[in-house]
Each structure stands twice: as C-alpha cells, then as structure tokens.
Amino acid sequence: MNVAAYLGRIGYKGKVSTTIETLRGLHRAHLLSVPFENLDISLGRQILCNEDAFLRKIVERHRGGFCYEMNGAFAALLRTIGFEVTLLSARVPNKDGSYGPEFDHLALRVDLDTPWLADVGFGDSFLDPLRLETGVEQTQAGRIFRILGSDGSLHIERAEVAGSWEKQYSFTLQPRRIEDFAAMCHYHQTSPDSHFTRKRLCTIATPEGRITLSDMKLIVTRDGIKEERKLESEEEVQAVLMQTFEVTL
C-alpha cells in the first residue's frame, strides 16, 4: 500500500507514528477530505467488499464511499503505519428505536495504551476517536458523546440540544474480518429496503460544520445554522459534486 499517496489524499502532513496524536490527526484529516457517499449505488456500479477495491476508489480515483469502504480503507492505512486495528460489527438504530442486524455498519477499534473507537464512515458523528470507556462523557467540537454498556453490547450516543441523547449505533468488541461484512454490503447496495438505494447522498465534514448533497438538495451547516438550496438540474448536481466535494463521476 502506498502510504504517501493515502496521506496526500487526506491532506495529512503531521508526524506518522503509532500515537494518539497521529491517530487523531489522521482521523480528522480523513473526515475533512473524503466524503461519505453512495453515488456508485445510484449508478448501478457494484461495490466490492474488498480492501484493494476500497483503496483504489478512495486514494487513486479520489472518491469517497460508505462505511465498509471508508473504514475498510482507513483500517488498512492504520495497520500499514503500525497501529493495532480490529474491525467491529455495529448495528444502526431503526426509526422505532430498535437496532438493525449485525454487520449493518463497520467501525474500528484501535489499541494503544488504552483502546479507542475510530470511525470515518458514519457521516455526521465524532471528528476525533473516542476512548473505548463506558459511562464517560467525551466532548469534542462542541458536541458530547458517551458509550454505555448493556446486554453484552456497547452503545454510542450523542447529546442533543434539548438534553436528550440520540443513539448512534450499538456494537460488540468481537473481532471481525472484512469478508464478514460482504452480505450486508451487497444488501445495502441492492435492496429497496436499504436507505442507500433510496436517494443519492454525498456529505463531508468541514471545520465549521458539514456540507451535504441529498438528491437535488444542497445543505450547508455552519456553526449549527443550516442553509438549504434546491438544485435545478443534473448539470448543477455534477458541478456541485466537482466543485464542493472534488468528486467526478
């Protein structure tokens, strides 16, 4: 794997070592440079659950991806640098509050002196890795996260403005292989029940918030304030993808 090319792709220029400082820097750089997107699904292009395919798409083709691609590629980068990385299966909550199936989401455990939860493939979530420690509120970029344990699983939650907590996902620490996620990767790009087949999405974190293309709608969030604009044509969509996300299909 070409580490220099990957670091160039995410614009990381810091020290490369197996420390929490490097992990934080790589994690944040990835989220600020590589969009979470499902554009290949709407185009009918097959997404293979394969590490080499992830790296070619993200590094060589300057694209983004969804969780299996993003965290699969990021895990490869971290391992090549020397980090101890474990793939974790996570379950994303449904609208009724219940959790979906295993392998619905791919997250990462990174072991240093203490274990950390890394995730560059969940869209609007934590910018820096979280300590894998239960019952502790962790604040970053004005947001508060916590990890709770119950029924043999860990549950990550984000504090809402109203004082409630929003479920992000549930996971266990059982080690997984990338092949274990292949069936759900196929499901999410082919099933009409998958939210990834229902609309186009391309979203990326910014220092001030987030920019999101959702079908024909462009949403820009700065310091908690959202501005929405409807795009009028497919040509305008393609222009936004190229100019805002640096994505060319």
Q: Which residues belong to the active site? A: 67, 105, 119
Both tokens assigned to 141:
């970029």
Strands (E), 52-193: 84-91, 105-111, 115-118, 130-131, 138-140, 143-150, 153-159, 165-171
| Sheet containing strand 209-214, strands side by side | 36-37, 201-206, 209-214, 217-222, 225-230
Give, rounded to a whole angstrom, the gap between the first and last alpha carbons of the chain. Answer: 24
Rg (C-alpha) for the chain, rounded Å, is 17
Question: Which are the contacts of 184, defined by CB distance < 8 A and separation ≥ 6?
Answer: 68, 101, 102, 103, 104
- Across the beta sheet with 130-131, the strand order is 130-131, 115-118, 105-111, 84-91, 165-171, 153-159, 143-150, 138-140
DSSP secondary structure letter of residue 15: -
- Report the C-alpha gap between 211 and 228 in whole angstroms: 10
Give Cα 221 to chain centroid, integer Å.
18
CB 202 within 8 Å of CB 37: yes
